[in-house]
Chain A
Amino acid sequence: MRKPKFPGIPFEEYKLRTNRAQELMGKYGFDALLLFGIDNIRYYTGHIKASYGFSRRWRRGVVIPRKGNPVFVSNNITAKNAMMTTWIEDVRPWGGPKQFGYEKDHETYFIQILKDMGPKRIGVELDDTIQNEISGGEFARIKKGLRKVEWVDASDLLWDQRMIKTKYEQGIIRDLHKRFTRALLKAKGQLKIGMTEMEFHGLIFENSVHEGIHEDPMAGRMMMTGPGRYTTYIMGPTDTVLKEGSTLWIDGGPRHKGYFMDIQRNVCFGKPTEKMKEHYRVALEATLACASAVKPGAMSSDVWDAGENALKRIDPKYLLKRPSEVVGHGMGLYTHEPPFFMSKESLERLGEADRELKPGMYVAVEVGIVDTEPAEPEVVTMWPEENLLVTEKGHEVLTKDVPNDLWVIK
């Protein structure tokens, strides 16, 4: 057994994940999995795609047979990286100058490998929930070389496995939250009236680096919604000055060892108005109601219903003030994974499964309240978000040390 110098995951974890994949292949009727998505490659092999390249010349993929050992096909430039970081014995470089003697096209390798295995039904990342990075042209070439094979979408199998985080993964996730809690609270302490959104973002980023979360502190930005755009979401910080009377919403969080988090908090600069306090109180109560519904055996739609019922109890008018038809989601190597917490109707309309919660799931819950009157909102959408691990009996709140009251900066 080749021992990688810098394994991305421990050997036991690698074997656990491969064995589980092979077991699931039996359940789903696959003879092999052919994976190109970087998250899936990372998950099953520990290999980290450390650079941005996604054109064909950087292509790498993994074949996991139902029986036997996986094979890693890598562009020749990153093949040594694959050998240094994965436990896979059979790493095949492709491309490069003629004198290397490698296969010129990765498609040829995959065709050869799969022909040798003789599968009839191969699971691939065809769904629109996973980014597989392989272009249509490349996939068409592979299919052309294996005409007698049935190509089937493998995302159900992949999510079946990835949704339940192993002990090893949970360890990383807890560590991430401890580090970012410290980083975020420090930034909160540094935040002042008169700072810009961008300056606050810089502080969060700097503190994250200090905490060693610099593998890529944020694959995107910490998202922020502030004055002038109180109902705009999924946008980064701007140079807007946070003056007395402003409110702010922050959303997101860094990655640590590949794992994401997704926290939301609201900030008020100066003394909060009654409207700010009320909206926040309602949003928090509904979010906590969703959190209390998170336990093994509950369904995704139960979590949505808990939030909805909380709003109905407080005042049905708040049902029309929600910013989204999603009140939470799973997370892991990707920011938004199944399960998705929506109503039964929304799940059905969007073709999403109403999934049962199980121990080991890593999820977020988030209910927001939008300022809908007057037409131009006076306060930002109040929208807290907590991150939880589902346990045997309920859940563990990973964001419990980040105060979930309305942050008031005086």
Chain B
Amino acid sequence: MGKPNFPNIPLEEYHQRINKAKNLLKKYKMDALVVYDPENLRYYAGFNKVGMGVERRWRIGFVIPKDRDPVFIAPYVMEKSTVNQVWTDDIRGWAGPPHLNYTQDHEKLCADILKEIKAKVVGIELGQSMNSFLSYIEFQRIKKYAPRIKFVDACDMIWDQRMIKSKFEQDIIRELHKKLNRALNNSRKVLREGITEKEYEQAMYYEFVKEGMVEGAFISRMLMSGPGRYDVVIMGATDTKLKKGDTLWIDGGPRYRNYWSDIQRNICIGKPTEKVQRFWDAALSGQLEALSAVKPGNRASDIWDAGQTGVKKIGDFVPPSTRCGHGMGLNSHEPPIFHSADILKRLGEKNRELQPGMYITVEVGVKDPAGELTLMWPEDNLLVTENGYENLSKDLPMELWIVE
């Protein structure tokens, strides 16, 4: 067993994850799992990929055979980084100068390992819900070096395991939200008439840094929808100055120890108009109704249905999205996804049952077709418990943030 100086996951957690993976391999009738997605490397191997490197020379893989110890494949320049972080004993380098005598092709190395363990059916990240980083050409090469192996999509198996967060993961997630809530509550104090969206974003970042969330606060930005673009989503802050009467929607959140957060809140500069208040009330009604549906045994579509019921109590409103929440973890968007049953079917997504240990968001919103105010769209992050849920965002006031 390796003895990493800087393990990212404790030994017990590593064993637990590998053993569970092996059991699932048997359930899914695969002889081995091969992963390249950095999130799966983090999850299964405890390896934290910190550089941006996506091209082939940085390719890192992890092989989990169903009845043997895992094998880690690392480019020579990252071998020591691997040794320092993972519990896996068997770390095999590839590429590098000739005197190292490493194979130059990680594809051949992977194929050789799979042949060594006599694998016939191998799960790999072929689905559309994971980013394996492995290019099309590299995958073709692996198949060429191992022509007798059948490669199948392993995403269902991986999600089966990753959707349910272990106690270790839940503790990190709780810590993340304590820090996030403090940071957002503090940065909220800078809001005033005349501040720009970017200045507000900067204030949020300062607070994240103070809270020690510096591993890469955002791969992207804290998203915002403000004046001039009230119905535009998934866009970052701009230099727009916030004036009296403006409304703003913020969306996203930093990572902490690789786990994501994703909250949403609404801001109004000055006293809200009746229309703003009514739209907020509708969103809030939907949100609270959807939250009450979060419990083990309920399905993804139940959350959507509850949310729409809650909104209808206030009136007829247009939802900003066909989705009102999703899972999270090492990725910002994981299964389950909360759509109506009809949309889930249309998208080919499963109508998954909620289970204790899931880490999810609930986000019911309303849109103003006239574009006079931003999307009113709160979002909370929760852990599903045995009897219901634990609201990790409860200390982030669930109200329209009014800036006097």
Spell out A's residues near B (CB within 8 Å).
Answer: 5-6, 48-57, 77-78, 80-81, 84-85, 95-98, 104, 126-133, 135-139, 153, 198, 201-202, 205-206, 209-210, 212, 214-221, 223, 228-229, 231-236, 238, 252, 260, 323-325, 334-336, 346, 349-350
A51 x B128 contact (CB < 8 A): no
List chain A residues, Cβ under 8 A from B221.
50, 215-216
Given contacts A216-B217, A218-B216, A334-B54, 19 further A-B contacts (CB under 8 A): A6-B235, A48-B236, A52-B333, A53-B332, A55-B128, A56-B128, A78-B234, A85-B235, A97-B343, A128-B138, A202-B214, A209-B202, A229-B6, A232-B83, A233-B80, A236-B50, A236-B215, A336-B53, A336-B57
Q: Are B346 and A104 in contact (CB under 8 A)?
A: yes
Expressed in whole angstroms, the Cα–Cα distance for A287 and B141 within the complex equals 36
User: Residue B121 at the A interface, CB < 8 A?
Assistant: no
C-alpha spacing A90/B6, complex, angstroms: 51
Kindly list chain A residues whose C-beta atoms are within 8 Å of the C-beta of B202: 209, 212, 214
Interface-forming stretch among B112-120, B170-178, B224-232, B288-296?
B224-232
In the complex, A125→B36 CA distance in Å?
A: 19
Interface residues of B in 196-214 (CB under 8 A from A): 198, 201-202, 205-206, 209-210, 212, 214
Contact B235 A220 (CB under 8 A): no
Q: CB distance A55 to B220 under 8 Å?
A: no
Chain B: interface size category: 35 or more
List the B side residues contacting A98 at CB < 8 Å.
Answer: 346
Residue of A5, A85, A216, A235 ringed by the most chain B CB atoms within 10 A: A235
Cα distance, A9 to B206, chains bound together (Å): 27
Known: A5-B229, A126-B137. A350 touches B57 (CB 8 A): yes
Whether, in the assembled complex, B404 has its beta carbon less than 8 Å from a beta carbon of chain A, the answer is: no
Shortest distance between the CB of A37 and any CB in chain B (Å): 9
Given contacts A84-B235, A229-B84, A234-B81, contact A128 B220 (CB under 8 A): no
Name the B residues within 8 Å of A128 (CB-CB).
55-56, 59, 135, 137-138
Q: What residues of A have a CB within 8 angstroms of the CB of B1 in the complex?
A: none
Q: Is the CB of B55 within 8 A of A235?
A: no
Q: CA–CA, A216 to B50, complex, Å?
A: 14
Beta-carbon contact of B6 and A214 below 8 Å: no
For window 41-76 of B, CB contacts with A under 8 Å fall at 48-57, 59
Whole-angstrom CA separation of A329 from B274 in the bound complex: 58
B315 within 8 A of A: no
Report if A221-B322 is in contact (Cβ < 8 Å); known contacts: A81-B233, A136-B139, A350-B57.
Answer: no
| B321 interface hit (Cβ, 8 Å) | yes
In the complex formed, the residue of B with least CB distance to A320 is B99
> Which residue of chain B has the shortest Cβ distance to A96 in the bound complex?
B322
Question: How far, in angstroms, from A392 to B150 measured CA to CA in the complex?
Answer: 54
Query: Are A324 and B77 neighbours in the complex by a CB distance under 8 Å?
Result: yes
Chain A contacts for B56, CB-based, 8 A: 128-129
Q: Which one of A131, A201, A219 contacts B133 once the chains associate, using CB atoms below 8 Å? A: A131
Residues of chain B with a CB closer than 8 A to A231's CB? 80
**16 pairs, CB–CB < 8 Å, chain A vs chain B:** A50-B220, A51-B234, A52-B332, A55-B130, A77-B321, A81-B235, A126-B136, A205-B217, A209-B202, A219-B216, A231-B80, A233-B77, A235-B6, A323-B77, A324-B77, A336-B52
Asked if B128 and A216 sit within 8 Å, CB to CB, the answer is no
B216 touches A260 (CB 8 A): no
Contact A220 B216, beta carbon cutoff 8 Å: yes
Say whether B78 faces chain A, with CB atoms less than 8 Å apart.
yes
Task: Given A48-B236, A55-B128, A129-B56, check contact A209 B206 (CB 8 Å).
Answer: yes
Could you tell me if A139 and B238 are in contact, using CB atoms closer than 8 angstroms? no
Contact A52 B219 (CB under 8 A): yes
Q: List the A side residues contacting B212 at CB < 8 Å.
A: 198, 202
**For the complex, would chain A's binding face be called helix, strand, loop or mixed by DSSP majority?**
loop
Query: Which residues of A are found within 8 Å of B129, using beta-carbon distances?
Result: 55-56
Q: Whole-angstrom distance from the CB of B205 to the nearest CB of chain A?
A: 4
B85 contacts partner chain A, Cβ-Cβ < 8 Å: yes
Interface string of B351-375 (1 = CB under 8 A from A): 0000000000000000000000000
A141 to B308, CA, bound (A): 35
Which one of B52, B95, B217 has the highest number of Cβ atoms from chain A below 10 Å of its Cβ? B52
Assess whether B194 is interfacial by the CB under 8 Å rule: no
Closest to B125 in A: A135
B10 at the interface (CB under 8 A from A): no
Interface set, chain B 103-157, CB cutoff 8 A to A:
104, 126-131, 133, 135-139
- Distance from A36 Cβ to chain B, minimum over Cβ atoms (Å): 11
Given that A135-B126, A209-B202, A216-B219 are known contacts, is A229 also in contact with B332, CB under 8 Å in the complex?
no
Residue B331 at the chain A interface, CB threshold 8 Å: yes
Residues of chain B contacted by A235 (CB below 8 angstroms): 6, 48, 50, 81, 84-85
| Beta-carbon contact of A138 and B232 below 8 Å | no
Who on chain B is nearest to A221 by CB?
Answer: B50
